[in-house]
Amino acid sequence: MEKMVNNKYRILAGIIVFGSLWGMLECILGEVKLTGALEAFPMGAFLGAFVGLGLMVLTRRLYNVMWMQLGMALVAGLLRFWAPVGTCVICSALAIVAEGMIFELIFNRPVFNINKSGGDMRNVQTLAFLGIIAGFTIYTTGYMFTQIFTPILTEGAFSISNFSATLPLIFGRGFFAAVLGGITLPLAVLAKQLYIDVSSIKKEHYYGAVAGISTFCWVFVFAFFYI
């Protein structure tokens, strides 16, 4: 079996299937309305710092390929844009793509290589601290990205005053993303139960599973929202 980094078709298939899973979860969970004591909890923080970050870290662990996660974000953003969930569909799609870009900027640095066999990237406390930073940064930057580019794309204008007014809300909600990131990163990096040797899966089984799961995600979202 070729090294995963040289197996472009297997990587492309991974981008499609994990991007589709990410997009489906964004669509379905984005529809959830919390009540009671959890009503004020920002679902976007959960989707960004647990679902998005978790899938990106897990696939970096499984495939060990840089920029794959941005590809996943593009697939997930496309699926999210396709589903009429929430008051601003384009906002959510842009946020997902931005999260993928920020992830790459952070975890493409050699010091944050989660696939190193030893050192700090195998220490729970270090991973938790990095997860707090990553969760907060990915969520808040993605949120700010949407506040800048959504009005430009939809209205052709950007208001710095409106953007400034949303910053306290963005940073306040970022607290929840930081907490979730501190849980997500150690779990996705260290949990033995989540590891699969992707390169050892037989080609027919791998591509068959990718085709089946990806098709299910897109059909399920279509059926859930359009039928």
pTM of the model: 0.92
Rounded Cα distance between 63 and 6, Å, is 11
**Residue 5 pLDDT exceeds 70:** no
pLDDT of residue 3: 57
Domains belonging to the chain, first-starting first, are 8-221 (1.10.1760)
Q: Is 196 left (phi over 0), alpha (psi -120 to 50) or beta?
A: beta
Residue 160 class from Cβ within 10 Å (0-12 exposed, 13-18 middle, 19+ buried)? exposed
Q: What is the pLDDT of residues 84-100, one digit of tens each?
A: 765 567 888 999 999 99
Among 144, 15, 145, CA closest to 74? 15
71 CB-side CA count, 13 A: 15
| 3-class secondary-structure state, position 17 | helix
Q: What is the pLDDT of residues 116-127, one digit of tens each?
A: 877 778 899 999
Res. 6 pLDDT band, cuts 50 70 90: low
The answer to whether the CB of 112 falls within 8 A of the CB of 130 is: yes
pLDDT of residue 1: 39
